[in-house]
A and B are shown apart, each in its own frame.
Chain A
Amino acid sequence: MKKNARSGACAQEDIWAEFEGVPTVEEIVTNNTPLDLDAAPEFVAEYLKAQFVEDIYKAMEEKGVNQNQLAKRLGKTRQYVGKILNEKANFTLETLAEFACALGMQVSARMYSRDERMAIVPVYPKPSLLLPFPGAEAFVSQGKQPIYPTERQDAGHIAA
């Protein structure tokens, strides 16, 4: 009752009342020593774990897989999966690979400069290069390196 009466009486200007007794952001920044969290291995490792778990949740939702089904695919117990999802277990590269494969996903562990950013982009099939000589498709479909017929007039066009 007390709480309802208080929130009911909360006028628009009361929302901002709490801001009054607070120092300005400028003052706070001046008195603060910046912390470079990206240089703290413990922070980076905890973040990587959390992001990997986030990716597992996302993949489970996309693939319509629940924890039981994931455990079955991994050949592990539901408790093990729960431990990973709670970020309680130690992750190894094998753990990442196992979960990614069980969910039909790719996984990457790359190192790059701190002024770079990694992006995940969809893969679009490349337009097929049809080589203008008989039987060329066979080379492409078999995954072999196509042999460019240099004597032909259009060889320059293909190579370009």
Chain B
Amino acid sequence: MSIGLVDILDVKPAWQSRHTIKALAKDGKSLAVKGLADLKAVHPNDYKKIMKVIRLVAENDRVQNADHVKQGKQHNDVYEMRGGQARLFFFYTPDAKQVVVCTNYYWKAKKSEDEQDAAFERCEKLRAAYLKSIE
């Protein structure tokens, strides 16, 4: 099993002045890349909204506007990007490399805290697994 980081489609190198944006992949497969590709095909407007937030995350130390980025309640090290109904979960690597790792994605069809909590939980588990893999 190979765990690594891959580039995200349409994210420009010029945006990444503060943080490098990557997606978590296992054996060359990524939930975040797949989710964003589907979003781009089906909901192009929400795709642009989430890309805007990705750019904000890339260019700022920490995004303070909670309309765009929300920190996990149970897990403080994981965050949610919000663009329309699209939700992309990520964490900042704890080292000095300043990488943002996008882990999982979901489409918020209706207001559901359970679904959000589960997505934060999944992000935290993927974070722990990734950090363990690079030890």
Contacts and interface: CB of A to CB of B under 8 A. Distances in A.
A47 B37 contact: no
B63 A22 contact: no
A115 B53 CA distance: 21
Contacts of A87: 67
Interface of A is mostly: helix
Interface size class of B (residues with CB under 8 A): 35 or more
A29 B33 CA distance: 9
B68 A50 contact: yes
B25 A25 contact: yes
B65 A57 contact: yes
A29 B121 CA distance: 28
Contact of A28 (B33, B49, B67, B114): B33
Interface stretch (B4-12, B85-93, B94-102): B4-12
A3 B65 contact: no
Contacts of A50: 52-53, 56, 65, 68
A86 B40 CA distance: 24
A43 B98 CA distance: 25
Interface residues of A, number: 41
Contacts of A57: 64-65
B5 to A, nearest CB: 11
Interface of B: 1, 6, 9-10, 12, 14, 17, 23, 25-31, 33-34, 37, 40, 48-49, 51-53, 55-56, 59-60, 63-65, 67-68, 104, 114, 118, 121-122, 125-126, 129
Interface of A: 3, 7, 10, 12, 15-16, 18-20, 22-26, 28-29, 32, 34-38, 40, 42-43, 46-47, 50-51, 53-54, 57-58, 61, 85-87, 114-115, 117, 119
